[in-house]
Structure 1
C-alpha cells in the first residue's frame, strides 16, 4: 500500500490543489472575487441566516378559507347556471363542505341535472393531462334536492394550486424589495418557505408577505347614512367597511365590484403634483380601462371606494369621467408605505390567505457576532488538536496535521462548489470534523505501533497498519454517516446545514487518511529511511495495558442501569426544558442599546403591552436578555406574529432585537414527531448495517449501548435544564453516530481476535480487545473533546446547549463502548465458552495472548 505511481501522486496533489482553488474565494473580499476571470471559481459558501442576519418565514395556506371560498364559488355557479337555463330553484345554501339546492318544478329536475353537469366534471390535475380529479360529488337524497360535496382530492388540488400561484406572487413581491438570493419554495402540501438573507427590516417583509392584496374599486352607497346602516341593517347588496385611518372611518359600500386588481398592469409610488403627498399611480389594461371609464361616466358626483383586503384606502368623489385607464390612490401614505402598496399591486393578489406558522429572524449584529465566535472557536479548536497530535506522535503528528488541513480545505471547497449554506451549527460540524478527523490517523498510527511491537520492520509495520486499519475506519465512519443522512432528510434549516457539513467531513476524512496521509508517510519512509518510529512527547495511556474490564462489567452495568432508571424518572417527573420548537411560542433575544439589560423593566413593558406568559432571563453578557413568550391555551396559528409586533413596539426604543423565533402549535407538534422518527430511523438503519457487517449479537450490543447513551444524555439535559430543541436532537443523533463509531472500532477488533484466538475464553478475549483499543479510544475522545470544548467556551450562547450535549455524549459514549457494548457479547454468547478455567485449552489460549498486547 506504500507504492504510488507518478500519475497517482499527481492525481492526489491535483485534488488538493483544486480544493484550494475552490476554497480560496472564501478568504477574498467581494470586490476581489468580482475581478477574477470568469473561468476561475469565485463562489464562496453562502452564509446562513444565523450568520448574516435575515428572516426565515414558513407560511401556510388557510385550508378553511379555501373551503369557504370554494363553497361560495359553487353557490355562485349554481345560481348562474340555473338562471341561464331559466330553471326555478329555492333553498340554495352551503354549510361545512356541502352546498344544496332544491328544484321547484319536478318536471325540470332532469333539465337541471344537465345544466349543472359541468360542476361534477373531472378537472385535469397535471400539466400533461395525465391525472383527473373530481372536485364535487352529487347526491340526491330526495327527488329534486341536489347536494354537492367538496371532495378531499378536490380540496387538496385547490390547495396545491393556491400554493403554486402564491409562490409566483411572493417571488415577485420579494424580488421587488431588492434583496439578494431569496429562497421561496414549497414545503409539504400546503406550506411555503421564504428565506431572505441580509434583510434589515423583517417586520416590513412580514407585512408584505402576509397581505393578500385583493384590490377592488366599488361604489359608495349613499342611499342612507352609514350610521343608520351600522345601527340597523345595511341595504341589500351593500356592506359596511372601515378605512385604514386612525380612528377608522365607516363607509357603506356596494358589493358590486366595478374593477378588480386583476385588471391592473402597473402601479408605481409617486408624489401628487398638487399636494406633494406620496400616492400610488396605477394603470388598467384595456378591459379594466373600459369598465372604469364607463362606471365613472355614469356616476359623476358620486363617491367610489378603493378597497384593499376589505379595508377602504380612500373614497374620492368622481368629478369627471376617467377615460384614460389611469388614476392614483391617495391616503395617509409615507414614501415607504406607498412603495410597499405599489409592490403588492404589481405582484398581484394572493389566491388565498397565508398564515405565518413559523418565523426565525436574526439581526445583522448577532450574525456578525456569531461569525466571529465561530471563527475563534474553530481556530482555537484546530490549534489545540494540532498541538495534541504533535505531542502524541511527533513527526507523524505533523503529517496528520497536514492531512487535517487538506481535509478542512476539501470540506470548504465542496461546500462552496455545491453552493451549500454555512450555518452556525455548520461551523460546529466543521469543528467537530476537525476533532473526529484525527480518529482515522490515530487508528492508523496506533496500528502501526502495534505491528512494530510485534517485531515487524518499519516498512512492514506501516504497510500492514494501513491495510488493517482500512476496514475499521470504513465501518466506524459509515455509522456516523448514517446518522448524518437521517439528520439531513428529517431535519430542517440549520440542522440540515450541520448534517451536510458532517457528512462531507466524513467523506473528506476517509479520502485524506487513505491517500494523502499514506502518500506523505511513504515519501517520508523513502527519503528518511528511519530506523525507528517517531516518538511523541506524551502518552495518555501506556503502550501495553492489562486492565480487567470484564471483572467489573456487572458493577459498571448496574451503575449504568441505575443512572438510566434515574434519568427516565426525571424525564417523567421534572421533564426537559423544551424549547419553542416542541412547545410552540416565541423567543426573542434583545440587547440594551446602552448599559445593562433591566430584566424587570423588560418584563413590565411586555406585560403592560398585553402579552401574557412572559419569562425574561439574562443571556450571555449583562446587556443581553432572552425573552420567552409561551403559547396560551387555544392559541391559533398566526397569532404569534401580532405578539412579536407588540413586543417590538414595547422594547424597540431602548433595546435592539437581535433574534426572533416564533413557532405555531401545528409546526411544533410536527417537529416533535419528526425528531422521534429521526432517532428511531437512525437506530434502525445502524442496526441493519452492524447486523450485516458483523453478527446479530453485535447489532444488539451496539443498539443497547446506544440507547444507554441516549437515555443518559436526556437525563443530563433534565438535570442541567439546558434547552431541548431541534439542535439538541441533532446533538443526540451525532452522539449516536459517535458512540457507534467507538463501539464498531472495538467490535472490529473483537471480530479479528475471535479469528486469531479460537480457544481463548470470551471474557479474556474482550479484555484483550478493550485494552488493545484503549489508546485509540482515549486519543480520539481527547481530540474531539478539545475541539468541542473550544466551541463550548467561545461559540456563543446560541449553540451552547447543543455543544454541551455533545461534550457529555463523547464521555458517555466512550464509557458505554467499553462497559456496555462489549459485555453484551458475553450475555448473548457470541462464542461458546467451552474452555473451563484451569483446563489445558484455557492455558493454551492464555499462552497465545501472553505476548506483548497491541496498545491500539
Structure 2
C-alpha cells in the first residue's frame, strides 16, 4: 500500500471530522456556560439568507442631480482659486444648475487667453466654450462625468455597507443594480423603519459661519416666499430641493455667497419647539467628511450628544476657521453645525479650537435621544452618502414565508437525493452505494464550507446543492462506465479501476471547469440570489471532484488491498 494512500485517508478523515465539528451548532442548540459551548462555536451556525430567514428588501435610487450640482460648485471654487494663484485676479465663477454648467467670468479681455490656456492645459476633465465677451461656459467631459457617476455609486455601496455593518446585521447583501440603484437585503431585520432611516440618511455634515441678520427679517422673507407657493411638503420633495427653491426666490434679498436654512430650538423647561432661521456663509465652512471618529456621550446634565474628532487635515481647517472668527473687539460669531442641510446647533465661537474636537447637541429633538445619538454617530463614522437617495422598492419577507421556503427546499433536495440514490443502487449495485455514500460526504463538505466562511444559504443556494448532487453522481457515472469497459476486455479489478479513473479524469475535469466558468460569470455579473447560487455551485464543484476522484478511489483501494477483493461488480 503506497504511503500516499495513508495520507489521503488521514486528510479525508480530518475533513469529515472538521465538517461535523463546524456543523454541530447549525443542527443542535449550544447553550452558553455548558461544555458544548467550549467545544463548538455558536457563531459557526449557517446563516440563512433573506428568502429563508425573512427580513427586508430595499431598492434605493441615487439622485445624481444634487450630487452633480455640489461637484460643479466645488470645481468652480477650486478653478477660481487656481486661476487667481496664476495671476488671473478678477475672475469669478458660478454654477448654472439648470444646465449643469460652470459660468466663468473674466474681469477684462486681457485675461481671456490666460483662462483658456490654463483650463485646457491643466483641467483636462473640463470642456470650455466662449459664451459672450469675457464669459465662458465650462462643463465636465462626458467620459469624466460617467466616471463621477460610477464613483458616486461605488461610494454609496461602500457607505451603506459600512452603516449596515455598524447596525449589526448578519450576512447583509448590498449590491449595485444598473447605473443608479443599490439593492439592500437585510436578513432578520424587524425594525424596518429604523433600518431605512439609518441607510437612507445622507448624513452630510458641515460646519458654517452664521451671518448676522435679524431673525424677524428672515421670518418675513420665508413668509413672503410662502405666499408664492414655496412651502415644504416632505411627501412631495426633498428638503434640499425646497431649500433650493427658497434661496432662488430670496437671491435678491441675501448676499450672493450665502444661503438660508433653519433648525429647531427646544425649550428645556416647556419642551416647546421653535423654528429658528439662519443665514449661512457658502465660503467659510469646514466639510464633515474629514472626521476621524464620532461617538455618543452625555453632558454634565445627562443629555445625550455626539462627540466628534477631525482627522489631521480637518483639525487644521477647523482650527483655521475658528481662529479667523474668534471674538474680536466684542464681536462674536456663531458656528452652525449642519446635518443634511438642517442646523442642529449654532454655538458661539469662544476661542480658536486647534484640537479638532467638537460636540453636536441634539438631545431635545427626539423622543428617544439616545437612539438618535447612536444612529447619528453610526452614520458619521460610516461616512456621508455622496448624494441623496430615495426608496424605489420595499419588500418585507416574513419568517413564516422563510420557514416555508426552507421546508420546501429541504423536501426538494431530499426527494432528488433519494431518487438519485435509488437509481445508482439499481443500476450500479455495490458501486452505486459507494457513489451514494460520497454524495452524502459532498453535501456535508458543502454545508461545512458555507458555515465556516460565514456565507449565507439562500433558496437558490439550495438549488445549487441539488444540482451539485447530480454533478457528483455524473462524475461517478463516467468513472463506472470506464471501469465497466475495462472489465469487459478482460482486465483484473485493480487494473480496470486504475484505468477507469485515469481515462475518466480528463472528462470530469473538462465538464466541471466548464460549469465552474459559468458559475464565475454568474457570480461577477449577477445580483444577490444569483450570486448565492453561483457560490454554492462553485463550492459544490470543488467538493464533488474531490469526493468522486479521491474519496471513492480510496474506498475501492481499501477493499482491493485490505479486504483482498478480486472482483468488482458494476451493475
| TM more than 0.5 | yes
CA contact under 8 A between 2:60 and 2:393: conserved in structure 1? yes
**What is the deviation of 1:398?**
2.3
1:231 aligns with 2:224: yes
Check 1:136–1:90 CA distance in 2 against 1; reply closer, same or farther (3 A cut): closer
Is the Cα–Cα contact under 8 Å of residues 362 and 373 in structure 2 kept in the other structure?
no
Q: CA deviation at 1:345?
A: 3.8
Q: Given the alignment of the two structures, is residue 342 of structure 1 paired with residue 372 of structure 2, yes or no?
A: no
Contact 2:263 2:277 in 1 (8 A): no
2:175–2:183 CA contact under 8 A, matched in 1: yes
Q: Is the 8 A contact 2:304 2:373 kept in 1?
A: yes
The residue aligned with 2:202 is 212
C-alpha separation in 2, matches of 1:198 and 1:296: 59
CA shift digits 1:189-212 (9 cap, x unpaired): 877776665544343233223222
Change (3 A) 1:13 1:372: farther
Aligned mates of 2:187, 2:491 — CA distance in 1: 58
Q: Deviation at 1:493? A: 1.9
1:350 CA drift (Å): 3.6
**Alpha-carbon distance, 1:36 to partner:** 5.0
Tell me whether 1:253 sits opposite 2:278 in the alignment: yes
Structure 1 residues 292 and 200, CA gap change in structure 2 (3 angstroms): farther
CA distance in 2, matches of 1:445, 1:165: 53
Query: What does 1:239-388 align with in structure 2 at a 5 Å threshold?
Result: 241=261, 251-256=276-281, 260=286, 262=288, 268-269=295-296, 280=306, 287=319, 290=323, 294=327, 298=331, 307-313=338-344, 326=359, 328-333=361-366, 334=368, 335-354=370-389, 362=397, 367=402, 370-371=405-406, 373-375=408-410, 377-379=412-414, 381-388=416-423
Give deviations 1:85-119, integer Å, cap 9, x for gaps: 68557896635243334445334445xx26x8665
| 1:424 aligned partner | 459
**Uncovered stretches (5+) of structure 2, i.e. residues with no partner:** 226-248, 267-271
8 Å Cα contact 1:313-1:331 kept in structure 2:
no
| Superposed CA offset, 1:319-353 (max 9, x none) | x9688865623443113223222333454534433
Q: Is the 1:305–1:313 Cα contact (8 Å) retained in structure 2?
A: yes
C-alpha contact (below 8 Å) 1:186/1:193 kept by paired residues: yes
**Relative contact order, CA 8 A, sep 6+: which one is greater?**
2
Aligned residue in 1 for 2:440 = 405
Residue 375 of structure 1 and its aligned partner are, at CA, apart by 4.4
Per the alignment, do residues 299 and 193 of structure 1 end up closer, same or farther by CA in structure 2, a change over 3 Å counting? same
Secondary structure of the corresponding residue to residue 540 of structure 2: helix
Q: Describe the shift of the 1:388–1:281 C-alpha distance in structure 2 as closer, same or farther (beyond 3 A).
A: same
Match of 1:435 in 2: 470
Secondary structure at the residue paired with 2:387?
coil
- Shifted more, 328-337 versus 514-523: the winner is 514-523
Q: Kindly tell me: are residues 161 and 393 of structure 1, through their superposed partners in 2, closer, same or farther at Cα, counting changes over 3 Å? A: closer
Deviations 1:16-62 (A, max 9, x none): 2232244234323376897459xx9x966654444455566676654
Indicate the SS of the match to 1:28: helix
Calculate the aligned-residue CA RMSD, in Å. 4.9
Q: Which residue is 2:215 aligned to?
A: 222
1:175–1:104 distance in 2 versus 1, CA, 3 Å: same
Match among 92, 99, 102 for residue 102 of structure 2: 99
Q: Distance in 2 between matches of 1:78 and 1:480?
A: 53
Counterpart CA distance in 2 for 1:74 and 1:532 is: 78
Q: Aligned partners of 2:398 and 2:48: how far apart in 1?
A: 14
Distance 1:88 1:172, change over 3 A: same
Alpha-carbon contact 1:264-1:283 (below 8 Å) kept? yes
Aligned-pair distance for 1:68? 1.7
Residue 298 of structure 1: SS of its match in structure 2? coil
Aligned equivalent of 2:12: 16
How much has 1:167 moved relative to structure 2? 6.3
Verify the 8 A CA contact 1:425 1:494 in the aligned structure 2: yes
Q: Hey, what's the Cα distance between the residues in 1 that align with 2:419 and 2:203?
A: 57
What is the distance in 2 between the residues matched to 1:177 and 1:295?
44
Residues 239, 252 of structure 1: 8 Å contact kept:
no
Taking structure 1 as reference, are residues 474 and 326 closer, same or farther at Cα in structure 2, changes over 3 Å only? closer
CA apart distance, 1:447: 5.6
What TM-score do the two structures reach when normalised by structure 2?
0.69
* Runs (5+) with no aligned partner, structure 1: 124-133, 536-856
1:25·1:33 contact (CA, 8 Å) conserved in 2? no
Distance (Å, rounded) in 2 between the aligned partners of 1:108 and 1:435: 75
Equivalent in 497, 505, 513 of residue 548 of structure 2 = 513
Q: Distance in 1 between matches of 2:139 and 2:131?
A: 13
Corresponding pairs, count = 510
Kindly provide the CA deviation profile for residues 219-264 of structure 1, in whole angstroms up to 9, marking residues without a partner as x.
5652515245332564213655465799997654313266556387
SS across alignment from 1:254: strand
For the residues of structure 2 that align with 1:483 and 1:83, how far apart are their CA atoms? 56
Q: State how far apart, in whole Å, the 2-side matches of 1:76 and 1:222 are.
A: 30
- The answer to whether the 8 A contact 1:451-1:464 is kept is yes
Give the Å deviation of 1:281: 5.8
